[in-house]
Amino acid sequence: MGAVLTNPLRVGLRQERVIPPQCLVIFGASGDLTHRKLVPALFELFRQRRLPSEFAVLGCARRPWSDEEFRRKMAEAMASEVAEHRVAWEQFAAGLFYEPVDLEDPPSVVRLGQRLEGIDRLRATRGNRTFYLSVSPNFYGSGCRSLAAAGLLSDPSRSRIVIEKPFGRDYGSAQELNRVVQTCAQENQIFRIDHYLGKETVQNILVMRFANTIFEPIWNRNYISSVQITAAETVGVEERAGYYESSGALRDMVQNHLTQMLALTTMEAPGRFDPESMRNEKAKVLQAARLANEDEPWKCCVRGQYGSGGSSTRPITGYRHEPGVNPESTTETYVAMKLFINNWRWQGVPFYLRTGKRLPKRLSEVVLTFREAPVHLFDAAGGAPTPNQLILRIQPNEGAEFKFEVKAPGSGMRSRPVDMAFSYDDSFGEPSDEGYVRLLADAMLGDPTLYTRSDEVEAAWRLYTPLLELIEDAPSRLPVYPYEARTWGPAASDNLLAADGLAWRRP
């Protein structure tokens, strides 16, 4: 959200819970995520005075940095913030430490335990620890094992472990990873990240649905005819080709982020807003979700890959020519699909999901289309009346929009659609927390509401298993259609909806 003038009366008003004394241990402290997201988010929390004074960050990776080197690297990586808040940074950096640790080398993890005891004494962090695995997914399992073997996870009230995405690469590997981490720690110690859940407007789906009475009565198959969920990116694969080549859009975006948006949009109201009730409902609805055509999954899914595009002055490279990408790659950068949810609320309502890179706009939204009026009393300006739509905009221009018909001005009784819009920016004008600020704070508070539970992750993977198997076994049945960069994906994706007499919303 665009930062506008801040509201001077808002300062210090947030009623956030305060994080208890603890040491946050980051594995992969020399990696990209740590200096780009994690440490900036922690510094933000520090400046918001949401960290207790009994707090420390211990960075760990294999390279032999010193505390001082770690502090310097972090300061360099966030030079402009540090320059702007020099005094605060000095105070914050005094709580940054570094310990060389190889997660695959048990003795070094045992040394880590000793170092942590030293930090407990120095910073009064009282043996409370949050371990953050910001390392390659290959180390999630072995990392948990080494921590457990060193006794660092033995007290569930004092230690927890945060696991980055991706959690597994299919149903089987996710199950296996769950099995491993659950032998090392209890489920309530395990925090699986989904970055979308950190976004304020994703959380707002819940508040809109369950803090108002006007939406819930019509939030079902009797009133809603179809739902579209879109997460569009304008960027290409950037520097992540190595990872992306083996993942693709289905794994990278759909299984986690789009599925979370789907779950929040469709779940039943929990009895109360506590982590387990929330996650029970999400898991339940995901378990009821199915591909529209499980036996012939190629009929309900379209894959695409961006080709070159742009203009002669600003050409855009096609995916296969991006650095690090196999010139014959069949990795999808676009995927669209149709799902159903087999329960009382949603039976028969089609859900269309799509995501892609190099699309014309960066945006995420959920669009609920309502049924048509049973009788058309009035001529519509556009031929037929436009069905009512409720659009929940996740990013950018966060907010909600409602489309309905009104009388077109002039004589006669013609109708035309109008928009009623709510915008976070106009109403609050405040940039919201970056996802990591919220997610890190929640993990350190021990609040798993915005983290995914083992059954949710598994249900999400299982949902897409027919597609993943098809891609593995008979990729030709699910061809990767090329699309021009900066267009809305391959034509086959439009056909997927056209077959149902629908069209993607052009945002």
Of 31 and 429, nearer to ligand NAP (C-beta) is: 31
**Neighbouring C-beta atoms of residue 479, cutoff 10 Å:** 16
425 binds, among another protein, ligand NAP, none (CB under 5 to 8 A by kind): another protein
Structural contact between residues 110 and 150, judged by C-beta atoms closer than 8 angstroms? yes
Annotate 124-177 with DSSP letters as a single string: --TT-EEEEE-S-THHHHHHHHHHHHTTTT--TTTEEEEEPSP--SSHHHHHHH
Residue 55 corresponds to which tokens in the numbers above?
């707090």
CA distance 396 to 2: 9
Kindly calculate the radius of gyration of the chain based on its CA atoms and give it in whole angstroms. 24
Binding region for another protein (CB under 8 A) out of 167-175, 176-184, 300-308, 419-427? 419-427
Which among 27-35, 169-177, 360-368, 417-425 is the span making contact with ligand NAP, rule CB under 6 A?
27-35
Residues 478, 482, 483, 486: is their CA dihedral positive or negative? positive
Q: Which conformational region is residue 137 in: left (phi greater than 0), alpha (psi within -120 to 50 degrees), or beta?
A: alpha
Phi, psi of 410 (to 5 degrees): 110, 180
Binding pattern for the stretch 52-81 against ligand NAP, x by CB under 6 A and - elsewhere: ---------xxx------------------
Nearest approach, Cβ of residue 17 and another protein (Å): 6
Binding pattern to another protein, positions 27-56, x when CB under 8 A?
----------------------xxxxxx--
Task: Give strand ranges (E) for 10-94.
Answer: 22-27, 55-61
Tell me the per-residue interface mask from 154 to 183 with another protein, x by CB under 8 A, - otherwise: --xx--------------------------
Catalytic (active site) residue 195: no
Residue 102 in contact with ligand NAP, rule: CB under 6 A: yes
Instruction: Considering only the stretches 10-18, 232-240, 394-402, 411-419, report the one whose residues sit in contact with another protein under the rule CB under 8 A.
Output: 10-18
431 binds another protein (CB under 8 A): no
Q: Which stretch binds ligand NAP (CB under 6 A): 130-138, 267-275, 381-389, 466-474?
A: 130-138
> What are the angstrom distances between the C-alpha of 370 and each of 224, 385, 497?
4, 12, 16
For ligand NAP, the closer of residues 250 and 480 by Cβ is: 250
| Cα 220–chain centre separation | 25
Give the one entry of another protein, ligand NAP, none that residue 268 binds, where binding means its C-beta sits below a cut-off of 5 to 8 angstroms depending on kind.
none
Tell me which of 54, 81, 104, 430 binds ligand NAP, using CB under 6 A.
104
Measured from each CB, the residue nearest to ligand NAP is: 31
Token pair, residue 72, equals 């310097």
Residue 35: CB minimum distance to ligand NAP, A? 8
111 lies in the binding site for ligand NAP (CB under 6 A) = no
Rounded-to-integer distance, Cα 174 and Cα 182, Å? 12
- Cβ atoms 108, 102 nearer than 8 A: yes
The residue among 30 and 265 lying less far from ligand NAP, judged by its C-beta, is: 30
Cβ at position 130, least distance to another protein in Å: 14
State which of residues 309, 417, 429, 431 lies at the interface with another protein (CB under 8 A).
429
303 contacts 251 by C-beta, under 8 angstroms: no
Q: Which two tokens stand for residue 411?
A: 């004589």
Residues within the interface to another protein (CB under 8 A): 4-5, 7-13, 15, 17-21, 49-54, 126-127, 156-157, 188, 274, 276, 425-430, 446
Residues within the interface to ligand NAP (CB under 6 A): 27-33, 61-63, 101-104, 134-137, 139, 164-165
- The catalytic residue positions are 257
